[in-house]
Amino acid sequence: MNVNRYLKNIDSLLAAFIGFYAIHLYTKYSGVGLSPDSIMYASTATNIQAHGSLMTFNKTPLVFFPVFYPFFLGIIQFLSGAGPIKAGAMINAFLFASVIFTQRLDRVQIPYAVTDLQVDNTYSNYF
């Protein structure tokens, strides 16, 4: 029986939807929560979107935190118009769903167990 390749991973897709909904449900009321890091990321994303600068809420440059996440939030804010705190909850939900989907997808597509692999023990005496 030839099963459609999209229907073969329907359980992975269903688990990903459940994971997305769980994160969405828990962050719908109060958001993802605020910490000093998230305030820096959100204010920098707002300044990137509004002024094109890597400045935080207190008008100092972002130096102690990675730049990509505020830049990514600024792009999302520019495209969707949603604030970085609201967008952060949806980004977390999508990322959690994608982790579930790819993990379950990987589990389904490996046709052999780890014990079936041929292992070269040439350097095993060094460890």
81-84's contacts with Cβ under 8 Å and 24+ in sequence apart are 83/42, 83/46, 84/41, 84/42, 84/45, 84/46
Q: Positive or negative CA dihedral for 85, 79, 44, 91?
A: positive
Average pLDDT of the residues of the chain:
76
Q: What is the pLDDT of residues 65-102, one digit of tens each?
A: 787 888 888 888 888 888 888 888 888 888 888 888 88
| Residue 83 near residue 77, CB atoms below 8 Å | yes
6-24 pLDDT per residue, tens? 567 777 788 888 888 888 8
Number of domains in the chain: 1
What are the Cα distances from residue 12, in Å, to 16, 92, 111? 6, 18, 17
116: in domain: no
Which pLDDT score, from 0 to 100, does residue 71 have?
Answer: 87
- For residue 123, being part of any structural domain is answered with no
Q: Domain limits at 88?
A: 10-106
Instruction: Give residue 122's pLDDT.
Output: 58
- Rounded to two decimals, what is the model's pTM? 0.59
Q: Tell me whether residue 119 is in a domain.
A: no
pLDDT of residue 70: 85
In this predicted structure, the answer to whether residue 120 has a pLDDT above a threshold of 60 is no
